[in-house]
């Protein structure tokens, strides 16, 4: 119906001549846009500026400063802007700060202008607040994003922009993909985190510290070890050196003991020497005799084999 209405208006503009109308626009005349309509009257320009998403959450000065910072400084600046001072202990503040920092850094990587960064951050902040504060359902939040992206490079001139007309179609697709991967894919996790109270044991732990005893002892217990004195003395402290054993002066003498010369052969008789020689000779010769006997048997077997061969040859002839 909208397309038919546009064609009818264009025919009236062309004076009712159908030959001046081509593809829904008058020949030789460019299609009017929302911005051109805004130039016709000051009231339309004021309405466009009021509906724009730029500089609703972040001002122009803040966006310009954020685009010049690194990721660590961006986190500090956003923490200051949104007063998220409890991000180190509060899980919700930590997730909010992390999400805003990631979105701002992504916008910087896309080479957004300060106006585009502010409009993109308005989308991010609004959709994230719908989960955090409004507890909006996933489908309803998707519809909200669809409304925000309406009118980016409209196909027809009467499509009113929702406030992101400073983005082109490719940038709008990139923003949509980023919101799906960063927010909507983890929607159940965000819903759970923002609808449940954080357990206290996560942020607080009772610690028992043993204080030093009064200095009534010869020395106070060791503070650097953090253990009781009895345990320190039993397992950690270096044990005292053991006393040296007492030895007699005769043992400490540096002079070596006198060894008497003993002639072992002086007490041997000729018969003892003969028995020793015979015993040694017998041990040596026993192995030699066995070796010789084995070699003789081997030669004897070879000779028998040759004689048998001769007999066999003679018998056959």
Cβ neighbors of 87 (< 8 A, separation 6 or more) are: 79, 93, 94, 96, 97
Instruction: Locate 115 and state its tokens.
Output: 């106006």
Q: What is the DSSP letter of 57?
A: S
Full-model pTM: 0.48
Q: What is the pLDDT along the chain (317 residues), one digit of tens a residue?
A: 333 333 334 333 333 433 333 333 333 333 333 443 333 344 444 344 446 778 889 999 999 999 999 999 999 999 999 999 888 888 899 999 999 999 999 999 999 999 999 999 999 999 999 999 999 999 999 999 988 888 776 655 565 767 788 888 899 899 999 999 999 999 999 999 988 887 766 556 778 887 766 666 566 555 655 677 777 778 777 777 877 777 655 545 556 666 666 666 667 778 887 888 888 887 777 777 788 888 888 888 888 888 888 888 877 76
pLDDT value, residue 216: 61
Predicted local confidence at residue 225, as pLDDT: 55
DSSP reduced 3-state for 96: helix
Write down the pLDDT at residue 126. Answer: 94
CA distances from 9 to 40, 130, 153, 171 (A): 18, 40, 21, 32
Closest CA to 118 of 174, 170, 181, 58: 58
Quick one: how far is CA 114 from the chain centroid? 32
Residue 34 is predicted with a pLDDT of 40
- pLDDT in the model for residue 231: 78
Question: CA-CA distance, 22 to 77, in Å (whole number)?
Answer: 53
**Cβ proximity of 95 and 193 under 8 Å:** yes
pLDDT of residue 197: 82
Cross-strand pairs, 26: 21
Pairing of strands 21-22, 25-26: antiparallel
Domain spans of the chain, in order of start:
2-49, 57-199
């Amino acid at each position: 119906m909208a397309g038919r209405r546009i064609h009818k208006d264009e025919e009236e503009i062309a004076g009712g001549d159908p030959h001046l109308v081509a593809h829904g626009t008058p020949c030789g005349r460019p299609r009017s846009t929302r911005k051109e309509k805004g130039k016709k009257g000051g009231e339309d320009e004021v309405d466009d500026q009021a509906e724009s998403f730029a500089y609703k959450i972040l001002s122009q000065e803040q966006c310009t400063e954020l685009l010049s910072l690194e990721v660590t400084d961006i986190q500090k600046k956003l923490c200051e802007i949104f007063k998220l001072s409890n991000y180190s202990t509060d899980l919700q503040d930590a997730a909010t700060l992390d999400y805003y920092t990631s979105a701002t850094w992504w916008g910087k990587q896309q080479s957004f202008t300060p106006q585009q960064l502010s409009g993109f951050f308005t989308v991010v902040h609004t959709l994230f607040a719908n989960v955090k504060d409004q507890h909006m359902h996933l489908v309803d939040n998707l519809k909200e994003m669809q409304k925000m992206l309406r009118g980016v490079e409209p196909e027809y001139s009467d499509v009113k922009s929702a406030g992101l007309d400073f983005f082109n179609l490719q940038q709008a697709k990139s923003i949509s993909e980023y919101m799906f991967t960063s927010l909507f894919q983890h929607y159940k996790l965000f819903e759970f985190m923002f609808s449940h109270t954080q357990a206290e044991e996560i942020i607080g732990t009772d610690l028992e510290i043993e204080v030093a005893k009064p200095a009534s002892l010869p020395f106070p217990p060791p503070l650097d070890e953090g253990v009781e004195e009895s345990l320190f003395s039993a397992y950690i402290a270096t044990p005292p050196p053991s006393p040296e054993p007492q030895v007699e002066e005769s043992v400490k003498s540096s002079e070596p003991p006198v060894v008497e010369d003993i002639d072992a052969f002086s007490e041997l008789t000729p018969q003892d020497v003969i028995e020793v020689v015979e015993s040694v000779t017998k041990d040596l010769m026993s192995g030699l005799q066995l070796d010789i006997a084995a070699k003789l048997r081997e030669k004897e077997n070879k000779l028998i084999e040759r004689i048998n061969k001769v007999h066999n040859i003679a018998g056959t002839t």
